[in-house]
Amino acid sequence: MTDTTYTVSVRALCEFTAKCGDLDMRFTPSPSAREGMEGHLWVTRRRPDHYRAEVTLKGEYQNLTVRGRADGYDPEQGRLEEIKTFRGNLDLIPDNHRALHWAQAKVYGALLCAAEGLESVELALVYFDIVRQEEHHLTEHWSAEDLKAEFEAQCDAFILWAEQELAHRERRNLSAEELQFPYHDFRSGQRPLAEAVYQSAATGRCLLAEAPTGTGKTLGTLFPLIKALSTQSLDKVFFLTAKTPGRQLALDALQTLDLPELRTLELVAREKTCEHPDKACHGDSCPLAKGFYDRLPEARQAAARERCLDQARVRDIALAHDLCPYYLSQEMARWSDVIIGDYNYYFDQSAMLYALTQAHQWRTALLVDEAHNLIERARSMYSAALDQHRFRRTKKQAPKALKSRLESLSRSWNEFNRALPEEQDLVLQTEPPEPLIGQLQLTAAAITDYLAEHPFALDSELMQFYFDALQFLRIAELFDERDFLCDIEWRPPPSAKGGKRKGTVIQLRNLIPAAQLKPRFEGAHSATLFSATLNPAGYYCDLLGLPDTVVAMTMPSPFNAEQVTVHTHRNLSTRYHDRARSIAPIAHLIAEQYEQQPGNYLAFFSSYDYLQQVHEHLRDHHPEVPTWAQERKMNEAARADFLAAFNEHSSGVGFAVLGGAFGEGIDLPGKRLIGAFVATLGLPQMNPINNELKQRLEEQFGQGYDYAYLYPGLRKVVQAAGRVIRGEDDTGVIHLIDDRFAQPRIRRLLPEWWALER
């Protein structure tokens, strides 16, 4: 073992050594974080003046340092308390949870006796029912000597792992210092990108890096942060992606770096890793949950020996030890160096990686891949909706004990509807519906209490409404008129069985996610956001809540103007009222280009209707041109078939919707794609919600139209056209179809290396 001291929290120590028995993820209503804090305060405020709350404690055993804060200590009674809040029936708290609570209390007791020179102490588990505001006490009297023995046993159980982790970290850092770039030379723009990423880690700053396709962004950002693991004392690197292909690119880049001492983990959604989707996540149902914590130490040890814990390898190890792959990957997030996963693992409200970073005070570096997607993803993370038709189905199927409460909510909802303007299908408000929220709070509390007493009588409609209600209430707490909008839409029943009554969908819509994302960036040591389209930088800085010290830079393109011919068609308008007149000229343009140079092309349009109209005209008047088209709600197999039509030996035109599945994130190098037609500026639809967004953005940033319409639209255009040139040997043609592409303010937002026609 090295001479370095390993520091661990009391909670982490006990979770590592004292968890046993089954994995049990059955839903049992538990207090929210805020309710838990309020419950602790309620208990401690009832104690006498000499009572000491939040007692900071620390102790050493060999070269292990254990620290934490005990909930409370009464020196006159010699009583140390561990406070836990709960809902419902105390007897429903699993035995292994209580064993963990006792383990924490005993460690705190040992640390307190050592710090205060006590010979003995009374330990109390105080379970506080937040609904009834009642305390339940379980007490044990322990001598300092016995607590010390228990503490040392806990430490002995952990210390071998700590020694292993310290040795791993030392080997990791040494190999990172010696790491060389895997290729003879950097690509164009890749070296300045890597240097900027390293500098952001060295200074603890945020970097916004626009790096064109072909720069080698994934390797160019991962390589410098692996080097910085040692020099900047980083604990973790989080590579966060918007889509699945981004995860694979990161895994491939790390494989190229070939660093045997680096432990990499891929996080995948539970629904994609569940081995028994027909079973519930507890030991009485799923064999992989039975005895999970008893078998976890051996599986964890096996996983820790692996260099790359991708989805397949985690599954192999988990099944070899009869464990759930998803929850094994969750455990290994604590012990991995580079973690690759979706944005939501760090930026969502209940994000696991952010919570672990805060709890363990990790020094973390973020890499946000394809960062132009984060604005819309964050808006969805911090929005919520309630559907009255879904609620009506829930009310019909709900247990009798909840009928009265649901009826009260229904009456309040209908009363809210009656106050809406009858002539408007969509109503916008700057405040959430407070009276309805009050009824919703009472309803959520009633469902919570019911579920606490009946944890197995769970109806899917009830649970879906319950979770929707909790999300709605959480967003209502965040709601402010600067960053959020409440929109209410009247909708007909989804089917004849739904009756004849219209219902409303009430949405609390996040418009500007900066305030929600800002703490996430502040919680990291450094952050690098990168993409091929981050222009203008101020737009992303403002909407993502990046710090004032952010550095924005644009890397030179590895491509040159000779590789692509860009035509701008100034005599055509794709505005809504001009589209009928544009159909024939666009179809003729596509046919003419195909006749001049047969090959594979993509044609992008602003909507499915527009796409179909041009597609039909081309087929009717130019049947010699092979075509295929994107359809609404294509599944993965259909999308794969669409892309498979683009091969080295095929030729034809694929029709797609701008901003859809084929507008970014696909790679068709060489002859698989030689040209693109973009028949739109990609501007979001002009509607009341987007106009309200424009107004808010104008008030806050003075660029309402640009931020709401222009920049999001042109970003989609550049992404779609960027499918054409993917490698240094690629050549192709791009047709930008709309007279507005001739405007100087539009042309300034297009890539500099494109040689635009004058």
Contacts with 270 (C-beta within 8 Å, 6 or more apart), sequence order: 326
- CA 358 centroid distance within chain: 16
Q: Which residues contact 321 (CB under 8 A, 6 or more apart)?
A: 295, 298, 299, 302
3-state secondary structure of 565: strand
CA angle 365/368/370 to nearest 5° reads 160
Cα distance between residue 677 and residue 735, in whole Å: 5
Whole-number pLDDT of residue 494 = 80
Secondary structure (3-state) at 150? helix
Order across the sheet with 526-531: list the strands: 308-309, 264-266, 338-342, 236-241, 364-368, 526-531, 206-210, 551-554
pLDDT of the residue at 544: 98
Cα torsion for 183, 187, 192, 197, to the nearest 10°? -60
Return the axis-axis angle of helices 10-17 and 352-360, rounded to nearest 10°.
120
Could you give the dihedral angle defined by the CA atoms of residues 676, 680, 683 and 689, in that order, rounded to the nearest 10 degrees? -120
**What is the CB-side half-sphere exposure of residue 749 using CA atoms within 13 A?**
26
Check residue 1 and give its pLDDT.
38
Task: Report phi then psi at 341, rounded to 5.
Answer: -165, 180
Smallest Cα–Cα separation from 691: which of 463, 487, 421, 411? 487
Amino acid making up residue 537: A
Up-side HSE of residue 141: CA atoms within 13 Å toward CB?
4
**Kindly report the CA angle at 514 between 513 and 518, in degrees rounded to 5?**
125
* CA distances for 224 relative to 1, 78, 216, 363, 534, angstroms: 28, 53, 13, 16, 21
What's the rounded Cα separation, in Å, for the pair 421 and 439? Answer: 22
The pLDDT score that the predictor gives to residue 2 is: 44
Contacts of residue 490, defined as CB under 8 A and 6 or more positions apart, other chains included, come to 420, 425, 426, 502, 503, 504
**Cα separations in angstroms, 110 against 57, 70, 282, 492:** 10, 11, 33, 64
Backbone angles phi, psi at 198, to 5 degrees: -65, -40
Q: pLDDT, tens digit, for every residue of 247-257?
A: 999 999 999 99
- Position 48 scores a pLDDT of 95
Residues of the chain predicted below pLDDT 70: 1-4, 26-30, 32-33, 452, 455-459, 496-499, 757-758
Q: What pLDDT, on a 0 to 100 scale, did the predictor assign at position 32?
A: 67
Please list the residues that pair with 531 across neighbouring strands. 210
pLDDT at 244: 85
SS3 letters across 158-215: HHHHHHHHHHHHHHHHHHHHHCCCCCCCCCCCHHHHHHHHHHHHHHCCEEEEECCCCC
Does this model's pTM top 0.85? Answer: yes
